[in-house]
């Protein structure tokens, strides 16, 4: 399903909260999935603060609309679209809605993810039903592919584009309890590399962003404080990660500064994983 929840236009503020000129992305239109909360919402806000028009995609329609309204209240341009990224037609419809509203699409952030389901939580992996595996893989990996399918023709026609697929540090430090999630996020890295080969000569770069465990309201609700403390001690930079620590790399990958960078995985975790 893909339902337009809110279309809004505004006037961007003079400077972003990151201290940079807000017009860096003023001629860009970004689609961000899983953008109703957590890091996805942070990505959407950061791009909007630098001038981009942003399409906020999520299955959580009300929260997605809230993010879009917040962006507009701060002078930005935003559209919220209820979207299941594992549905190819829905993803395509959301991109079409973005183009109708803003005229183009330049940046895709494939951030939507699913870590577990009721069928796998607390159940040994060798007892999981096939549909539980399929659901997690569908959101985490198939969604990235459907997103690329939806935006690539438009980006190729314009001769410029950025696709950033979000993976996970669990690919480097896996746990059996999340074997479906780890496999899917590893697949995202392979997908990124393959897509980069096909799109590079069209001015479209494809890279993977790999954030470490990050303090967001969503993550704070999933893990006790001791988990964050443990991760902080294992990092070279021994402190918690916050969305602002991840956003800088994302913005670089969306910018013209990364014109010659494609097919790469960028681990942003304060020096926990070394690859």
* Cα(121)–Cα(94) distance, integer angstroms: 31
181 has catalytic annotation: yes
Residue pair 228/24 in contact (Cβ under 8 Å)? The answer is no
**Cα 249 from chain centre:** 12
Phi-psi region of 152 (alpha: psi -120 to 50; beta: other; left: phi over 0): alpha
Residue pair 9/69 in contact (Cβ under 8 Å)? The answer is no
How far the first Cα of the chain sits from its last, in Å, is 38
Which residue of the set 43, 126, 181, 231 is catalytic?
181
Residue pair 161/262 in contact (Cβ under 8 Å)? The answer is no
Give the position of tokens 């539980």. Answer: 132
Give the position of tokens 């209820």. Answer: 82
Closest CA to 181 of 113, 261, 274: 113
Convert 149-171 to b/e letters by CB count within 10 Å (16 or more is b): ebbbebbbeeebbbbbbbbbbbb
Phi-psi region of 113 (alpha: psi -120 to 50; beta: other; left: phi over 0): beta
Active site residues: 181
């Amino acid at each position: 399903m893909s339902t337009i929840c809110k279309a809004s236009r505004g006037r961007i503020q003079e400077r972003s909260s990151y201290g940079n000129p807000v017009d860096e992305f003023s001629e860009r239109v970004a689609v961000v999935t899983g953008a109703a909360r957590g890091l996805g919402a942070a990505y959407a806000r950061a791009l909007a603060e630098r001038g981009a028009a942003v399409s906020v995609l999520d299955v959580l329609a009300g929260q997605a609309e809230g993010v879009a309204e917040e962006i507009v209240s701060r002078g930005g341009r935003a559209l919220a679209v209820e979207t299941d990224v594992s549905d190819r037609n829905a993803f395509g419809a959301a991109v079409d809605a973005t183009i109708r509203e803003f005229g183009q699409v330049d940046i895709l952030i494939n951030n939507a993810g699913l870590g577990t389901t009721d069928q796998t939580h607390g159940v040994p992996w060798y007892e999981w039903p096939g549909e539980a595996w399929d659901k997690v893989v569908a959101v985490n990996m198939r969604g990235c592919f459907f997103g690329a399918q939806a935006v690539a023709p438009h980006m190729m026609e314009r001769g410029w584009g950025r696709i950033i697929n979000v993976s996970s540090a669990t690919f480097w430090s896996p746990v059996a309890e999340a074997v479906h999630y780890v496999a899917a996020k590893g697949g995202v890295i392979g997908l990124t590399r393959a897509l980069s080969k096909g799109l590079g000569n069209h001015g479209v770069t494809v890279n993977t962003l790999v954030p470490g465990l990050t303090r967001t309201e969503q993550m704070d609700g999933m893990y006790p404080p001791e988990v964050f403390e443990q991760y902080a001690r294992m990092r070279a930079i021994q402190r918690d990660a916050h969305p602002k620590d991840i956003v800088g790399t994302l913005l670089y990958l969306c910018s013209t500064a990364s014109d010659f960078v494609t097919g790469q995985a960028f681990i942003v975790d304060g020096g926990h994983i070394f690859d």
